[in-house]
Structure 1
Amino acid sequence: MRLTHFRRLMDDEFGTVRAGSIARDHVFGALGGRTVEQALEDGDEPRDVWRAVCAEFEVPVERR
């Protein structure tokens, strides 16, 4: 998954403003206590970060 696709999925699921807030401010246990932005900056695959977001926010399977 490309980073642009990841960003589009975040925006589509949460809306642009909330997606940005989640990415910057929400700390995910599944990402080792990091935010989305920190995980991506550290080189985590966007696909893996998306999976962590989906699990945390209980995104329905059909939208994962």
Structure 2
Amino acid sequence: MHLHFGEGYAESFAQDHVMSELGGRTVRQALDAGWEAKDVWRVVCVTQGVSDRLR
């Protein structure tokens, strides 16, 4: 996430942005709940329009 969003925004996004695709969780909450990092990243990529080459 740091590479795509930049360090400051990535931290804010991970902590503050609630995503319905993650069950109403933030990235951090999803990871803490046991979601696989690759699955969380896929959700972020789809919802935020991350290019295929960065996935």
Q: Give the TM-score normalised by the residue count of structure 1.
A: 0.83
TM-score by length of 2: 0.96
Alignment of 1:1-64 (within 5 A): 10-64=1-55
Q: Can you list the C-alpha shifts for 1:1-23, whole angstroms capped at 9, x where unaligned?
A: xxxxxxxxx10000000000000
Higher relative contact order (CA 8 A, sep 6+): 1
3-state DSSP of counterpart to 1:34: coil
Cα distance between partner residues in 2 of 1:46 and 1:40: 7
Please, which runs of 5 or more residues in structure 1 have no aligned partner? 1-9
User: Identity over the aligned pairs, expressed in percent?
Assistant: 51
Gaps of 5+ in 2: none
The equivalent of 1:6 in structure 2 is none
